[in-house]
Structure 1
Amino acid sequence: MKSRVDKLLAGAGFGSRRDIKRVLRERTFCVNGVPCRDPSFHVDPEHDQFELDGENWAFRARIYLMLNKPAGVVTSTADPVHRTVLDLLEEPWRGSDVFPVGRLDIDTRGLLLLTNDGALAHRLTSPKTGVEKKYLADLELPVDDDLFAEYARRFSEGVAFHNGHNCLPAKLERASKRLALTIEEGKYHQVKKMFRVVGNRVIGLERVSMGPLVLDPGLPPGAVRELTADEITGLREAVGLVDPE
């Protein structure tokens, strides 16, 4: 089935419509040996031959997976001791070129995006983008209304770690017996450190959302599913990667 060049390159992770126009303008993209500068030109990904800057280029469909990461698994592509999130993949995704977007500590559970879309991954994790991540935290010490108000105030102002680094303001809410903390950053052990600063300790942590992507409540720990078309579009739009019409 034929597709526009810009949609083909968007699906291969070359970025936004503006990014793709720049690729076609500044680099040499050939279709069946003929240079192509027109983003609306129609091609057949299965039968046409492509070159990029003089090298053969094969279209690889982008993969977007939601993993409900269990505790005890490391967010890495390889580890000599522990199981990794890629070890949880089964066919047809086992052995694919996906990688985790961002990191969850070994004992942190919940939403993890796996993809081979480098442009999306970069923007989702870039501090400049400010994508919100929501975590549900179980704490060692009980939190009454007065203490909750104190935590919420301090987090909304941005807490300072003991090493002198400051966090951006964050939003704290009650979520049944747990507390929900929404942050825009992804510093190492950030949520745990934030609660440590206010005198409490996280004993359980689960990420439930990243930007518009929400953990599927029907997805068991360790299970994986493909993102829906709407979920993919929502993520890409949230970071300014709007696919061509």
Structure 2
Amino acid sequence: MRLDKYLADMTPYSRKEIKILLKQKRVQVNDALIKDSKFQVDEVKDKVVLDGIAINYQTFFYYMMNKPEDVLSATQDKQDTTVIDLLQDDDYREDLFPVGRLDKDTTGLVVLTNDGQLAHRLLSPKHHVPKLYEASIEGVVDEADVARFAKGIQLTDFKTQPAVLTILETTATTSSVQVQITEGKFHQVKRMFGAIEKPVLTLDRIQMGQLKLDPDLALGQYRPLTAEELVALQTMPGPVDA
């Protein structure tokens, strides 16, 4: 691999900027100063250092984000802020994308990656990867609703797969619930509650497969996945642990 590509992949610098860095003698490969942008490096074996900092080559990147309201699960938009816009400059990469979508006004767990195969496994309908949400509902959710969700809700254009509805708390006018679905169709959770005439007030995704949202992540914050979390994400799951 060319040295300028290696550094462009692993740093915020463009190839044009990297050529300047090389001329300024700020790059070493295996302890030797290199000024040639075409210099060939082995991304596994060679030690590349920029400004005294080792730059290890990484093919795939994985981030957990706690998406706030009014942010789109998209890579770019001319009008609205996207999850990619929330990344710091040092973490930004053109090939990063959100795995699946959350509605603009839905908060919670979003995975950002450039690993297309992982995204396909998580989103493929045949794998039935469960997603767990917490929601505030207008109206009193009861055991009859739990039974309806367990059988699947008939919507105007399709019947949902069975869903697990758990009642956390109720008042005279509202309910706090968790709902687990294995699909992810447009506005699905909101439409399911709309079908039983109990509208969703707030919706927050807290788990995808076996990956749980870090409770220490404030809205709008993100961090790389740990090795253990990546294994959890890659494990084809059964029901999530609520």
Length-normalised TM-score, structure 1: 0.70
RMSD in angstroms over aligned alpha carbons?
1.8
Residues 1:175 and 2:175 are matched in the alignment: no
CA distance in 1, matches of 2:207, 2:180: 9
Residues 1:66 and 2:60 are matched in the alignment: no
CA distance in 1, matches of 2:129, 2:199: 25
Instruction: Quote the residue 1:151 is aligned against.
Output: 145
SS in 2 for 1:138: strand
CA distance in 2, matches of 1:181, 1:206: 10
Contact 1:73 1:83 in 2 (8 A): yes
Residue pairs, 1:194-213, within 5 angstroms = 194-213=192-211
After superposition, give the CA deviation of every residue in 1:193-219 in whole Å (9 maximum; x if it has no partner): 000111110011000000000000010
Number of residue pairs the alignment of both structures matches: 182
Measured after TM superposition, the shift of residue 157 of structure 1 is 0.3
Measured after TM superposition, the shift of residue 237 of structure 1 is 2.4
Seen in structure 2, the aligned counterparts of structure 1 residues 60 and 96 have a Cα distance that, compared at 3 Å, is farther
For residue 230 of structure 2, the aligned residue among 197, 219, 232 is 232
What is the identity, as a one-letter code, of the residue corresponding to 1:194? M
Instruction: Quote the residue 1:40 is aligned against.
Output: none
Between the aligned residues of both structures, percent identity stands at: 43
Instruction: Quote the residue 1:77 is aligned against.
Output: 75
CA distance in 1, matches of 2:203, 2:224: 24
CA distance in 2, matches of 1:46, 1:97: 25
After superposition, give the CA deviation of every residue in 1:23-71 in whole Å (9 maximum; x if it has no partner): xxxxxxxxxxxxxxxxxxxx86254xxxxxxxxxxx7521110000000
For residue 138 of structure 2, the aligned residue among 119, 136, 140 is 140
What is the identity, as a one-letter code, of the residue corresponding to 2:85? D
Gaps of 5+ in 1: 1-42, 48-58, 240-245
- Of the two, which has the highest radius of gyration? 2
* Runs (4+) off by over 6 Å: none
Gaps of 5+ in 2: 1-41, 47-56, 170-174, 238-242
CA distance in 1, matches of 2:206, 2:232: 16
CA distance in 2, matches of 1:212, 1:111: 12
Instruction: Quote the residue 2:33 is aligned against.
Output: none
Measured after TM superposition, the shift of residue 141 of structure 1 is 1.7
Contact 2:211 2:233 in 1 (8 A): yes
SS in 2 for 1:204: strand
Contact 2:164 2:181 in 1 (8 A): yes
Contact 2:62 2:112 in 1 (8 A): yes
Residue pairs, 1:1-245, within 5 angstroms = 45-47=44-46, 60-143=58-141, 148-163=142-157, 165-176=158-169, 178-238=176-236
Contact 2:132 2:207 in 1 (8 A): yes
Contact 1:159 1:167 in 2 (8 A): yes
Length-normalised TM-score, structure 2: 0.71
Contact 2:152 2:162 in 1 (8 A): yes
What is the identity, as a one-letter code, of the residue corresponding to 2:44? P
CA distance in 1, matches of 2:119, 2:128: 13
Greater RCO structure (CA 8 Å; 6+ sep): 1
After superposition, give the CA deviation of every residue in 1:135-185 in whole Å (9 maximum; x if it has no partner): 111112233xxxx2011100100111023x010000011234510000000
CA distance in 2, matches of 1:46, 1:75: 37
Contact 1:99 1:116 in 2 (8 A): yes
Measured after TM superposition, the shift of residue 91 of structure 1 is 3.5
Contact 1:136 1:175 in 2 (8 A): no
CA distance in 1, matches of 2:227, 2:89: 20
